[in-house]
Amino acid sequence: MAHYSPAMDAPVPALARRAERCAEALRDAEDLLVASHIDADGLTSAGIASLALERAGVAHESTFEKQLDRSAVEGYVEAGHDVVWFTDFGSGQLDVITEYDAFTPVVSDHHQPADVDADYHCNPLLEGLDGGSELSGAGATYCVARALGGAANRDLAALAVVGAVGDMQTTGGELVGANADVAEEGVDAGVLDVSRDLAVYGTQTRPLPKLLAYATDVEIPGITGDRNGALRFLDGLDAELREGGEWKTWAALTEAERRTVVSALVQRALRTGVENAETLVGTRYTLTAEEPGTALRDASEFSTLLNATARYERADVGLAICRGERGEALEEARSLLREHRRTLATGVNVVREVGVEREDHVQWFDAGDRLPETVVGIVAGMAMGEDGVAADVPIVAFAAKPDAPDVDGEALKVSMRGTPSLVERGLDLSAVASTAARAVGGDGGGHEVAAGATIPAARRADFVAAVDDEVAAQLDV
């Protein structure tokens, strides 16, 4: 059977040659390991990789890491794999990976690459595409999957879209650049629907009053954060929004009912002076093969469900769902999501209790062991704009990290968050994390708006000072 080649259609033409080279290395593997990150982008990357390899008849195993470090790479060396496919990480660690000659590395990633040449490396940044907004790790992995199996793998575009949405790559409420091209392939394959709809989280699963009261991206006085206010608003509409005495979900409404609610919401927003009322409507990505009314039907809810698995040491559950398993795996994921929400609900209170310190150009807090290292970055982002936490200053969060063999003594997990407006002014937290971590004997990287690191606990003050200096230099303040 003829293999796909860059001369044929490709989801991202700029990466076609790189994707084909990666696919060639994967086809020849005898003992292959897929190693991936633990967030939604990493899990969908691993799911895409695993399904593409299975369809190509390539036997493989999968593993996940909170952070790819030297000890993890050495573990792959000792295991004796002849090929390791790194998905959603690996680019920034190529200097470490290429020190060993024990296996062939294949990398499909979107993070800032180390200054090292690699034979099998598919990364949008290498071809002038923005890895923070135009193509995610799952998107890069999808490019390799398409090279591996051709158009027969177009259905995997749905997972790539979930990964991109989970990696917060929407711009103005929609995917752009190569991500949009991948989404179009999903539409063509019949596994994805892209439409304009209410841009609020929970449209598939939350009853209408909860949906509106919990929606915080656009704060509408008398509705946002006010369940009774949301009830009064809905009761005042001329539409059948209940069924059998129970409130419907957004997904269960007819088109006419949706138009009634959206029109009334926009009018309320404009009447109460909400400046960004137009963002109430945005682009929604629906996985058409999934059951309506479930979290897996909506890309945003799907990604949240995945985030709740590996962050609580159950990456196997997230991978199983990405590979199409439901039943027991889905029930376990739902249970983990409930735990995840409880943790996040108390997270901002933890930040208030430990206190946020302010330097000249950044702010920071240390949660110690009161928050899992896997969620402290999410909590940091949630805390921005809360009482005592500036919304326009980068925030650095620390948490205890007991399992960091590459760091002498006790270690800290670092998560950093910025804002799109700060990025427009020149902020690049990936560079900040990398430079400041190296200065104290740690390791870091990520994206312009969100990054992370692992550092020696004893060097926290030095790290904060280095971050403050780097941010000041970037923002020219």
Do 314 and 373 reside in the same domain of the chain? Answer: no
Q: Considering 297, 321, 344, which residue would you say is the last residue of a domain?
A: 344
What is the CATH number for 386?
Answer: 3.10.310.40
Per-residue pLDDT, 279: 85
Distance CA 65, CA 44 (A): 14
Distances (CA, A) of 382 to 24, 266, 351: 43, 25, 10
Per-residue pLDDT, 2: 47
Return the beta strands (E) in 209-312 as ranges.
242-243, 246-247, 281-287
Query: pLDDT band at 75, cuts 50/70/90?
Result: very high
Q: How many domains does the chain have?
A: 3
Distance CA 33, CA 42 (A): 15
Per-residue pLDDT, 421: 86
Burial class (CB in 10 A: 0-12, 13-18, 19+), 421: exposed
Do 335 and 222 reside in the same domain of the chain? Answer: yes
Domain that holds residue 300: 198-344
Tokens describing residue 199: 């841009």
Distance CA 186, CA 138 (A): 13
Is residue 460 pLDDT above 70, yes or no?
Answer: yes
First to last CA, the chain: 60
| Cβ-contact 475, 432 below 8 angstroms | no
Do 330 and 359 reside in the same domain of the chain? Answer: no
Tokens describing residue 428: 């690049």
The answer as to whether 158 is a domain residue is yes
Is residue 388 pLDDT above 90, yes or no?
Answer: no
Do 332 and 359 reside in the same domain of the chain? Answer: no
| Cβ-contact 423, 453 below 8 angstroms | no
Which tens digit of pLDDT belongs to each residue from 127-157? 999 998 999 999 999 999 999 999 999 999 9
Which tens digit of pLDDT belongs to each residue from 160-186? 999 999 998 998 889 999 999 999 999
Q: Considering 166, 186, 207, which residue would you say is the last residue of a domain?
A: 166
The answer as to whether 174 is a domain residue is no
Burial class (CB in 10 A: 0-12, 13-18, 19+), 348: middle
| Cβ-contact 163, 138 below 8 angstroms | yes
Q: Considering 166, 187, 221, which residue would you say is the last residue of a domain?
A: 166
| Cβ-contact 200, 301 below 8 angstroms | no
The answer as to whether 322 is a domain residue is yes
| Cβ-contact 95, 53 below 8 angstroms | no
Distance CA 48, CA 44 (A): 6
Do 337 and 384 reside in the same domain of the chain? Answer: no
Distances (CA, A) of 304 to 63, 166, 221, 308, 417: 20, 7, 27, 6, 18
The answer as to whether 6 is a domain residue is no
| Cβ-contact 389, 364 below 8 angstroms | no
Distance CA 406, CA 70 (A): 7
Do 367 and 327 reside in the same domain of the chain? Answer: no
Among 398, 345, 354, residue whose Cα is nearest residue 376: 398
Per-residue pLDDT, 1: 44
Cα dihedral across residues 311, 314, 316, 320: positive or negative: negative
Query: pLDDT band at 254, cuts 50/70/90?
Result: very high
Per-residue pLDDT, 408: 58
Do 241 and 327 reside in the same domain of the chain? Answer: yes
The answer as to whether 362 is a domain residue is yes
Cα dihedral across residues 431, 432, 433, 436: positive or negative: positive
Query: pLDDT band at 7, cuts 50/70/90?
Result: very low
Report the residue count for the chain: 477
The answer as to whether 177 is a domain residue is no
Among 76, 110, 73, 78, residue whose Cα is nearest residue 91: 110
Which tens digit of pLDDT belongs to each residue from 340-355? 888 888 998 999 999 9
Distance CA 110, CA 123 (A): 5
Query: pLDDT band at 217, cuts 50/70/90?
Result: confident
Among 475, 374, 350, residue whose Cα is nearest residue 421: 475
Do 360 and 333 reside in the same domain of the chain? Answer: no
Per-residue pLDDT, 431: 93
Query: pLDDT band at 476, cuts 50/70/90?
Result: confident
Query: pLDDT band at 51, cuts 50/70/90?
Result: very high
Percentage of the chain lying above the pLDDT 70 cut: 97
Do 319 and 409 reside in the same domain of the chain? Answer: no
Average pLDDT for 277-299: 93
Per-residue pLDDT, 165: 95
Long-range contacts, stretch 185-191, CB < 8 angstroms, 24+ apart: 185/11, 185/154, 185/157, 186/154, 186/155, 186/157, 186/158, 186/160, 186/161, 188/154, 189/154, 189/155, 189/157, 189/158, 190/155, 190/288, 191/154, 191/155, 191/157, 191/158, 191/287, 191/288, 191/289
Distance CA 438, CA 453 (A): 10
Instruction: Identify the residue whose tokens are 């259905």.
Output: 155
The answer as to whether 171 is a domain residue is no
**Mean pLDDT for all residues in the chain:** 92
Per-residue pLDDT, 81: 95
Do 443 and 402 reside in the same domain of the chain? Answer: yes
Per-residue pLDDT, 440: 95
Tokens describing residue 124: 């949008």
Which tens digit of pLDDT belongs to each residue from 391-438? 899 999 999 987 655 555 689 999 999 988 899 899 999 999 999 999
pTM: 0.86
- Angle of helix 40-55 relative to helix 157-166, nearest 10 degrees, comes to 170
Instruction: Pick the range with the lowest mean pLDDT from 108-112, 272-276, 400-404.
Output: 400-404
What is the CATH number for 17?
Answer: 3.90.1640.30
Average pLDDT for 265-280: 89
Average pLDDT for 38-63: 97
The answer as to whether 61 is a domain residue is yes
Do 271 and 210 reside in the same domain of the chain? Answer: yes
| Cβ-contact 349, 410 below 8 angstroms | no
Do 340 and 214 reside in the same domain of the chain? Answer: yes
Is residue 5 pLDDT above 80, yes or no?
Answer: no
Helix (H) or strand (E) holding 159: helix 157-166
Is residue 366 pLDDT above 80, yes or no?
Answer: yes
